[in-house]
Chain A
Amino acid sequence: MSDPNPHTLAEKPHMNPYWAGLGLGLVLLGSFVVMGRGLGASGAFTTAVATAVHTVAPAHAEGNAFYAEYLGDGSVSPLKDWLVFEVLGLFLGGFLSGALANRLKFTIEKGPRIGNPLRLLMAAFGGALMGIGAKLALGCTSGQALTGGSTLNLGSWAFMCCVFGGAYALAWFVRRAWL
């Protein structure tokens, strides 16, 4: 069982997508039953950004309707938020799963035909677009597609179609990055 050299333990293969989906679905269902709400991700970062801006420039943050919405009434720290703690758990859960499957590695995921700097630039640009899109749509793939999808939310289904539409439409143009 025990490997003499623990640094070269082999990566384990990924889980069958259907079983992973079942696990994810049960977590989501558990969240509905226990909390009456679904999962999310981008909201936590918005709260963090709003809190950071509020710390640096309080007047600016309070004057901005967007930040103000995430700051609450000031009676408790805005970071004491459901999504913030959920995303903390998200990092830990991802790390634990990666550790157990020996997938922890400092590396850059990309296709063979693209260099590291360009890939990182694309990651940053894609991330920025994602931030803007998620705020326009009131949620990201977790908060809208997963959660709204399973509660048959009208806006979420419209959103989901557009995410796949947008990604497929552009996929051909950025194929060098991935294939």
Chain B
Amino acid sequence: MTEYTVFRDNPGIDPALHAWGWEIPIYLFLGGLVAGLMIIAGVRIVASRPRERQAMVCCTIGPLVGLALLSLGMLALFLDLSHKIQVWRLYLTFQPSSPMSWGSWILLLVYPALLANALVHLPETAPALARRVPLLVTISDFLLARSRIVAGIGLANIILGVSLGIYTGILLGSLGARPLWSSAVLGPLFLFSGLSTAATLLHAILIMGMRDEERPAFADFLISSLSRLTEARAPDASIKPALTIADNSFLTIELGLLGLLLLGHLSSTEAHQQAAALLTVGPWAAPFWVFVIILGILVPLFLQTLELRNLIRHTLAPSLLVLLGGLALRFILVGAGQASHWSVLVSN
């Protein structure tokens, strides 16, 4: 039996999408980051006592940063839409089989969950603001007095965070026309990449919020102008190793998932193999290996391991590299995915 590739015009197989520019990768990156922030904060809310949480970056500044980043991501997504005025129509229906519909509803729920999360400890995060708006203290006290509500907020953050993180991967996977994206690993991969970027962002915020004399010398210069942001209460530096350990685990899992993604493709159809080859040896290989694997995963793993053992000075560099790697992963997967194709011209 012989198979021929014939020229055809089937939008299900030969998509005529407009090329995705910078907006979608940025949105996916920020979405994953916010998902990670929500999960970490949620776990802390469920697992720790209020007193302990008061000085934890993940429960105080984390949700606020999450709100800001989510808004930026939504802006990027909105910029990418062709019919900007029609956005509201997404919320007139719920299609259980459409990832786009799931996504828009998840995003709608993420905002209140994050906001509630932020409100629990807002007086500790921004004392100056709380003095001017006493209502914030009232809300916070009200919530803290009812541990069930707080636990509910924590659980909601965890569930919505996991959904959002997986959804950013599934969104790509649902486009069947691109072999590179047709893998179930993409969801968990983006989830763990999001978790690692979130942990590292919190770590970076922690370093920046530390008192001047405790702060590593190398970080000092970069952030002296930003340090006023966190004048309120110096975050608890004791959770720094916890964040680094968590980040190392997330990075290791991410590396494993990337391996699974590639192995899965390489043992699949020829179109899948060629799609994976785009990343491993093809036109995306150099940025993939250099920015995602080496700079984004291996080097920060190495540096953070040494930092944990107190063998080298602590710096912001691993955090910046992990964030860079997460961003590069989205850009490369979106770019290479659009270059992958089912009907591969057989070259002689």
Contacts and interface: CB of A to CB of B under 8 A. Distances in A.
Given A80-B286, A99-B303, A6 B314 contact: yes
Interface stretch (B47-55, B215-223, B326-334): B215-223
A104 interface: yes
Contacts of B310: 2-4, 6, 9
Interface stretch (A14-22, A88-96, A160-168): A88-96
Interface in A1-45: 1-4, 6-7, 9
A165 B182 CA distance: 62
Interface in A77-100: 80, 85, 88, 92, 95-96, 99-100
A85 B289 CA distance: 11
Interface in B276-294: 283, 286, 290, 294
Contacts of B345: none
B221 A106 contact: yes
Interface string B300-320: 000100110111111101000
Nearest to B287: A80
Nearest to B215: A7
B64 interface: no
Given A85-B286, A96-B299, A106-B221, A9 B313 contact: yes
A13 B89 CA distance: 66
B295 interface: yes
A46 interface: no
A6 B313 contact: yes
Contacts of B303: 99
Contacts of A113: none
B313 A104 contact: yes
A100 B313 CA distance: 8
B312 A99 contact: yes
Contacts of A1: 309, 311
A102 interface: yes
A7 B221 contact: no
Contacts of A104: 217-218, 313, 315
Nearest to B314: A6
A106 B286 contact: no
Given A104-B218, A106-B218, A106-B220, A85 B290 contact: yes
B211 to A, nearest CB: 12
B154 to A, nearest CB: 32
Between A7, A76, A105, the greatest number of chain B beta carbons within 10 A of the residue's beta carbon is seen for A7
Contacts of A85: 286, 290
A96 B309 CA distance: 16
Secondary structure dominating the interface of A: loop
Contact of B217 (A2, A4, A96, A106): A106
B307 A6 contact: yes
B295 A92 contact: yes
B314 A7 contact: yes
A2 B309 contact: yes
Nearest to B218: A104
Contacts of B313: 6-7, 9, 99, 102, 104
Contacts of B317: 95, 99
A80 B283 CA distance: 10
B37 to A, nearest CB: 26
Interface string A65-77: 0000000000010
Nearest to A102: B313
B234 to A, nearest CB: 15
A106 B313 CA distance: 13
Interface string B204-222: 0000000000111110110
Nearest to B303: A99
Contacts of A7: 214-217, 313-314
Nearest to A99: B312
A102 B312 contact: yes
Top 7 A-B pairs, shortest CB-CB distance = A106-B221, A2-B310, A6-B310, A104-B218, A99-B312, A7-B216, A3-B310
29 contacts: A1-B309, A1-B311, A2-B309, A2-B311, A6-B216, A6-B310, A6-B313, A7-B215, A7-B216, A7-B313, A7-B314, A9-B310, A9-B312, A9-B313, A76-B283, A85-B290, A88-B290, A92-B295, A95-B317, A99-B306, A99-B312, A99-B315, A99-B317, A100-B312, A102-B312, A104-B315, A105-B217, A106-B220, A106-B221
Given A1-B309, A85-B290, 14 more contacts: A2-B311, A6-B216, A6-B307, A6-B312, A7-B217, A9-B311, A9-B313, A85-B286, A99-B315, A99-B317, A100-B312, A104-B315, A106-B218, A106-B221
Interface of B: 214-218, 220-221, 283, 286, 290, 294-295, 299, 303, 306-307, 309-315, 317
